[in-house]
Amino acid sequence: MEILDQSVAAEVANQLLEIQAIRLQPDKPFTWASGWKSPIYCDNRLSLSYPKVRSLIKENLTKSIQHYFPEVEAIAGVATAGIPQGALLANDLDIPFVYVRSKPKGHGMENMIEGKVVTGQKVVVVEDLVSTGGSSLKAVEDLRKAGFEVLGMVAIFSYGFALADENFKNANVKLIVLSHYEAMLPKAVERNYIDQTMLESLSEWRNDPENWKK
């Protein structure tokens, strides 16, 4: 995982906290589908309702693609939250857009990928959030099976798990994120969302999420 810019990482984290796209509850943790307890809930779809934040994200995702993947020919959004972000980017870059379903459409053509499939087309995948990378990399696999050349992935936010880094490395996918967990924590302290005790607990979760609070 790489980030575009440290100052951008701090500002994106700050804005996500301000609009409550990121919620922190170390004393009343959320439960993920995997069964993991989590002190953080991140819903970046909320950013779409705030023009200032939406523009900040769009502009810096566009810069990320132009810097790291200048040969891009198309954008692929991961359903569902990556679809609107991807469409905004594709429009900014004036290139084609497709999106990848989590499972094939249950009727009609039963498509996994919606949009024009062009064999060999160089595509960058867009995600809103990366946790372990499982669903994100499943989309990459589906795009590759369809004949696309996947250059890499950009995302708004990552929890920064070592497991995710390993999964992306094994899949040979370069991941660029605007912000991440470590950039968010100082901003949360600065805004008095958390105190020092909570900060320690939040740091422990990132290091061992599977066993945190067991």
Statement: residue 79 has pLDDT above 90? yes
Q: What pLDDT was estimated at residue 185?
A: 95
The answer to whether position 214 is within a domain reads no
The answer to whether position 179 is within a domain reads yes
Tally of domains within the chain: 1
Q: What pLDDT was estimated at residue 106?
A: 58
Q: How far is CA 201 from CA 32, 39, 179, 189, in A?
A: 18, 9, 20, 13
**Region 122-147 average pLDDT:** 96
Q: Considering just the CA atoms, what is the radius of gyration of the chain in Å?
A: 17
Owner of token pair 């943790």 = 29
The answer to whether position 64 is within a domain reads yes
The answer to whether position 155 is within a domain reads yes
Task: Consult the annotation and say whether 133 binds a ligand.
Answer: yes
The answer to whether position 134 is within a domain reads yes
Task: Consult the annotation and say whether 54 binds a ligand.
Answer: no
Task: Consult the annotation and say whether 129 binds a ligand.
Answer: yes
Which two three-digit tokens encode residue 200?
A: 């320690």
The answer to whether position 83 is within a domain reads yes
Q: How many CB atoms lie within 10 A of CB 37?
A: 16
CATH code of residue 13? 3.40.50.2020
Task: Consult the annotation and say whether 107 binds a ligand.
Answer: yes
**Region 44-65 average pLDDT:** 98
Q: Which of 43-47, 97-101, 168-172, 201-205 has the lowest mean pLDDT?
A: 201-205
Q: Of 22, 24, 78, 19, which Cα lies nearest the Cα of 54?
A: 19
Task: Consult the annotation and say whether 135 binds a ligand.
Answer: yes
Task: Consult the annotation and say whether 64 binds a ligand.
Answer: no
Q: What pLDDT was estimated at residue 211?
A: 87
Statement: residue 108 has pLDDT above 70? no
Task: Consult the annotation and say whether 132 binds a ligand.
Answer: yes
Statement: residue 107 has pLDDT above 60? no
Q: What pLDDT was estimated at residue 45?
A: 96
The answer to whether position 151 is within a domain reads yes
The answer to whether position 95 is within a domain reads yes
Structural domain containing residue 26: 6-207
According to DSSP, the β-strands at 30-31 and 74-78 are unpaired
Q: What pLDDT was estimated at residue 197?
A: 82
Task: Consult the annotation and say whether 201 binds a ligand.
Answer: no
Q: Of 149, 153, 88, 79, which Cα lies nearest the Cα of 111?
A: 79
Task: Consult the annotation and say whether 105 binds a ligand.
Answer: yes
Statement: residue 123 has pLDDT above 70? yes
Task: Consult the annotation and say whether 180 binds a ligand.
Answer: no
